[in-house]
């Protein structure tokens, strides 16, 4: 009977050891999975910034901005904020149109160069031209057109254009035209407030 009791005691001791080992393993496994999930999310945020910079996609920047608003983990919010700053720094220091000129074929068949293009045409093409490079150039040319509808057209591009290069140029033109100072090149809200206060 003593042998049986000792055997049961050893069995219970071994079972306790197994339970403890399993518990420690589960904790380490869960911690490892959490770190892996964190790393994957960091990589995803960095990739969004790369897409915004390399492909000029506004949607990628907006996804990062929405992440900052909704995320609960401070370390990930800081990562997203850093990626947003990287995007803004890139666009603040690049000029996709440097040295470029543009010609426009008018409905009458005339070829018009840069500053000779009518303001109404620039506004229309800024809204609807499928080529982002042309939209950006039209936005640049509008910086010198202090005419009705120009500020609103530039604000529309700042708010709605899906290419960040166009948004950047439209923001710069808006500031040159109005004297408005924005927090950064993607700060269309301040531009809207500027227009609204004059109404």
- Model confidence, pTM: 0.78
103-159 per-position pLDDT tens digit: 767 666 655 666 788 899 899 999 999 989 889 999 999 999 999 999 999 999 999
> How is the chain classified by DSSP, letter by letter?
-HHHHHHHHHHHHHHHHHHHHHHHHHHHHHHHHHHHHHHHHHHHHHHHHHHHHHS-BHHHHHHHHHHHHH---HHHHHHHHHHHHHHHHHHHT--TTTT---EEE-TTS-EEEGGGS-HHHHHHHHHH-S-HHHHHHHHHHGGG--STTHHHHHHHHHHH-SBHHHHHHHHHHHHHHH----SSTT-HHHHHHHHHHH-
Least confident of 40-44, 50-54, 58-62, 150-154: 40-44
Q: Does the structure show a pLDDT above 80 at 66?
A: yes
159-182 per-position pLDDT tens digit: 999 999 999 999 999 999 999 898
């Amino acid at each position: 009977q003593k042998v049986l009791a000792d055997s049961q005691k050893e069995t219970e001791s071994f079972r306790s050891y197994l339970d403890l080992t399993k518990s420690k393993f589960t904790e380490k496994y869960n911690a490892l999975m959490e770190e892996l999930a964190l790393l994957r999310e960091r990589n995803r945020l960095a990739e969004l910034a790369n897409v915004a910079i390399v492909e000029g996609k506004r949607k990628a920047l907006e996804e990062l901005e929405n992440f900052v608003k909704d995320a609960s983990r401070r370390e990930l919010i800081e990562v997203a904020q850093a990626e947003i700053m990287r995007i803004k720094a890139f666009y603040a220091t690049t000029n996709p149109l440097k040295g470029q000129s543009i010609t426009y074929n008018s409905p009458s068949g005339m070829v018009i160069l840069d500053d000779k293009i009518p303001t109404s045409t620039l506004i229309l093409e800024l809204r609807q031209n499928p080529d982002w490079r042309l939209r950006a150039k039209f936005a640049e040319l509008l910086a010198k057109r202090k005419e009705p509808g120009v500020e609103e057209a530039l604000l529309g591009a700042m708010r709605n254009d899906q290419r960040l290069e166009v948004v950047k140029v439209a923001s710069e033109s808006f500031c040159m035209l109005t004297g408005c100072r924005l927090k950064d090149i993607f700060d269309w809200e301040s531009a809207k407030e500027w227009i609204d206060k004059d109404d």
